[in-house]
Amino acid sequence: MSVSLQTKTAASEIIENVERVIVGKRATIELVVVALLCEGHVLLEDVPGVGKTLLSRTVAQSLACEFRRIQFTSDLLPSDVTGLNVFDQKEQDFRFIPGPLMANIVLADEINRATPRTQACLLEAMQERQVTVDSETRPLPRPFMVMATQNPIEQEGTFPLPEAQLDRFLLTLRPGYPSADEEEEILTRFADGDPLAEISAIASARDLMELQALRRKIHVSEAVRNYLVNLVRATRVDPRVRLGASPRASQNLFAAAQALAAIQGRDFALPDDVKALAVPVLAHRLVLGADATLGGQSKEAIIADLLEKTPVPVD
């Protein structure tokens, strides 16, 4: 079985399993699977009640991986997340008590309600896959993925995520409201019970790591690489943008394009893969200038405009 077919088959099984609970969000679920194949992190940003937390829990339950949820609040301390050393009276020595971050999939619920100090404790974990407690560095279990949620409307009692932390997220997704038919299906599906309780894991941590290794074998031609780099660099020279996408964004867009190609059953990435992923990968990393902000321009609209202006390879 080819690399792409093996990945497509496994990804389809995960997506279909999640769709047994989540109604009408296949595109969003597919992008979460892209993040899984890249071992990247996802920021789910939308209004309350559209299923952000449920989506995270369903994805975690579809995988035989350790899942932990952290409810971020203003009084949450870094040690509540990473763990801490306590003195063991019996052993007369310090013993490390792991925090909830020591898991494969971590749901950081309402991440922007924690103080900047607590938010910052995630930076090392998200980038280096390790935590440092009392000068001792401990590796995190692999695979490791943070799925964070935040409400963009309610700002009281919140602390906006700094650019350094936003840059650690592979994707920012906004599930949005369901259609009328989808909302009726939600009522029907949840009327007799919780469908989340009925689904089981269909892939293990080892399976996921094997799929991540296969993703790296997807071919990205020089023409597609040049197109990707030109698009990212365009965000840095656009007069509407004060801070453009980083080289980490280029790496993330490259990996995500490989993953999307694999999910769709191809052994090679296309410019269309880059186009499809440009907004969720790049938009949250941009900092707009004052004129663009006052003019009501959105980051998504600027990325769409740059996609129109960046020449697409024809071969």
- Quick: pLDDT tens for 17-46: 999 999 989 999 999 999 999 999 999 998
Q: Which secondary structure element, helix H or strand E, spans residue 45, and what is its range? A: strand 42-45
Q: Could you give phi then psi for residue 76, rounded to 5 degrees?
A: -70, 130
1 pLDDT more than 80: no
List the chain domain ranges: 3-211, 218-309
Q: How far apart are CA 203 and CA 132, in angstroms?
A: 30
Question: How many Cα neighbours within 13 Å face the side chain of 206?
Answer: 0
Residue 176 has pLDDT above 90, yes or no: no
pLDDT recorded at residue 283: 94
Closest by CA to 71, choosing from 45, 108, 43, is: 108
Q: What is the pLDDT of residue 84?
A: 85
For domain 3-211, the CATH superfamily is P-loop containing nucleotide triphosphate hydrolases (3.40.50.300)
Mean pLDDT for 200-205 is: 88
Alpha carbons within 13 angstroms on the beta-carbon side of residue 311 total: 5
Pair type for strands 83-88 and 241-243: unpaired
How would residue 108 be classed by pLDDT, with cut points 50, 70 and 90?
A: very high
pLDDT in the model for residue 192: 82
pLDDT at res. 156: 67
Tokens standing for residue 48: 């309350």
The whole-number pLDDT of residue 112 equals: 87
Judge whether 3-211 and 218-309 match in fold.
Answer: no
> Which residue in the block uniquely carries the two structure tokens 């907004």?
279
Q: What is the DSSP string of 124-185?
A: HHHHHSEEEETTEEEEPPSS-EEEEEE-SS--TT--PPPHHHHTT-SEEE---PPPHHHHHH
- For range 253-262, the mean pLDDT: 96
Residue whose entry in the numeric block shows the structure tokens 């499809």: 276
218-309: CATH homologous superfamily? Magnesium chelatase subunit I, C-Terminal domain (1.10.8.80)
pLDDT at 37: 95
State the alpha helices, DSSP H only, in the chain: 3-18, 26-38, 52-61, 78-82, 116-128, 163-166, 180-191, 205-215, 222-237, 247-263, 271-282, 290-294, 299-309
Q: Rounded to an integer, what distance in angstroms lies between the CA atom of residue 6 and that of residue 180?
A: 36
Tell me how far apart the alpha carbons of residues 286 and 30 are, in angstroms, rounded to a whole number: 24
